[in-house]
A and B are shown apart, each in its own frame.
Chain A
Amino acid sequence: MKLRNRIVSGKIHVDMTPMIDVVFQLLIFFMCTLKVIEPEGDFDISMPLGAPKADSVTDADLPPFKVRMLADETGELSSLSFNGNNLGGGSRAIQLLNKSVFDSIVALQAIGSDQLQKQEVEIDPDYNLNYRYIINAIGACSGRIGPNGVHVSYLQRIKFAPIRQRPL
């Protein structure tokens, strides 16, 4: 018996329309929900704020490093002092603060390495000082970026002093 050689010609037609519909919907969704935001980081502060309570116990053996920040009428940093030493104003003062903290932790390491973990920094800003200087001061106390981009950590225990009075 002779069998006929049946050759099936032509492609199987797949309807792409629903898939393309869904894909475009997804594309539009992702385009609309896109928020262009710069990468954000943060500084952890877990600290008592305000007047120290009678039952607040701290394991720090030494008194905290004190960072006093004075503001002018516009909220700009007019003067910064570290442990009573005046470092001037503006961004130069923040750089000097970073150097002063480094010098202090070198001295701390001479006493004992565990002191470094316990050491606190108390930031005491004027009420109307622009918040950006607080972040700059916290950054200057918490470390620096080394020459090859490595994060060199200084102090992690950062707290605020009691709130200064609002200027009249």
Chain B
Amino acid sequence: MKIKSAFISIPEIDMTPMIDIVFQLITFFMVINNFDQNEADERITLPRDQLARPPIAVRKNSFMLNFGYDLDTQGRRIPNTPPYVFFGDDRATLAEVRPRLQQESQFYKTIGTKFEDVTVEIRADADVPAGMVQELIQMCQEDTIQFQRFALKATQKVDP
């Protein structure tokens, strides 16, 4: 007896719903991702204030100084350590930070930006002594550095 060879059809999976969902997810992550705050260091716990509002216009010339305490692997503050100014994975104490600031100042001088147009954004930890933040600002104003504008960062406090 001759058996007819059965026609083999490849089952098609409808990919449309999956692609829809994946695009929705991409859109979601793109919208909530804040690329402006990529310089923000996660080790810093900013003070909170309800009047701290983002600037109306985006600052063209600004750089950020993250000033706070180093944390251990558990996310706890390492005791008996001074606050550091963080530059990515690198860090410097207040006494060591001057060359870095001079470097930054030299950069703006080289590209011809006036110092009054440059804003130094200070992200200092809530528990850092106020005097140290003042010292950092004072250092930024020294004759070899000459920054003039400062913005003190805080988290927007949302009242329940």
9-residue interface stretch from A57-65, A81-89, A111-119, A159-167: A159-167
Q: Please, which residues of chain B bring their CB within 8 A of the CB of A20?
A: 15, 18-19, 22
9-residue interface stretch from A1-9, A100-108, A142-150: A142-150
Partner of B141, one of A43, A49, A127, A138: A49
Partner of B52, one of A31, A75, A135: A135
A128 at the interface (CB under 8 A from B): yes
Beta-carbon contact of A34 and B32 below 8 Å? yes
What is the number of contacts between chain A and chain B, taking CB atoms within 8 Å? 167
Which of A19, A33, A131, A151 has its CB near the most chain B CB atoms (within 10 A)? A131
Given A20-B15, A20-B19, A131-B47, A38–B155 Cβ distance below 8 Å? yes
Closest chain B residue, CB of each to CB of A45: B150
Beta-carbon contact of A40 and B137 below 8 Å? no
Beta-carbon contact of A41 and B53 below 8 Å? yes
B71 at the interface (CB under 8 A from A): no
A92 at the interface (CB under 8 A from B): no
A42 at the interface (CB under 8 A from B): yes
Tell me the A1-41 residues at the B interface (CB within 8 Å): 16, 19-20, 23-24, 26-27, 30-31, 33-35, 37-41
Partner of A163, one of B30, B48, B52, B134: B134
Partner of A131, one of B53, B127, B149: B127
Q: Please, which residues of chain B bring their CB within 8 A of the CB of A160?
A: 134, 137
Given A126-B130, A126-B131, A42–B26 Cβ distance below 8 Å? no
Min C-beta distance of A34 to chain B, whole Å: 6
Q: How many B residues touch the partner, as a band?
A: 35 or more
Beta-carbon contact of A44 and B149 below 8 Å? yes
Q: Please, which residues of chain A bring their CB within 8 A of the CB of B154?
A: 40-43, 135, 139
Closest chain B residue, CB of each to CB of A44: B151
Beta-carbon contact of A27 and B153 below 8 Å? no
The CA of A109 and the CA of B6, in the complex, are separated in Å by: 95
Beta-carbon contact of A145 and B50 below 8 Å? yes
Beta-carbon contact of B138 and A130 below 8 Å? no
Given A35-B37, A132-B127, A27–B26 Cβ distance below 8 Å? yes
Partner of B131, one of A38, A41, A48, A163: A163
Given contacts A131-B126, A136-B49, 6 further A-B contacts (CB under 8 A): A23-B26, A35-B42, A37-B37, A45-B151, A134-B152, A144-B51
16 contacts between A and B (CB under 8 A): A35-B34, A37-B42, A39-B54, A40-B153, A41-B54, A42-B151, A44-B150, A75-B129, A129-B130, A130-B127, A130-B128, A131-B130, A135-B47, A135-B48, A145-B50, A160-B137
A-to-B contact residues, CB < 8 Å: 16, 19-20, 23-24, 26-27, 30-31, 33-35, 37-50, 69, 71, 75, 125-136, 138-139, 142-145, 151, 160, 163-164, 166
Top 5 A-B pairs ranked by shortest CB distance? A127-B131, A41-B52, A30-B29, A132-B47, A132-B126
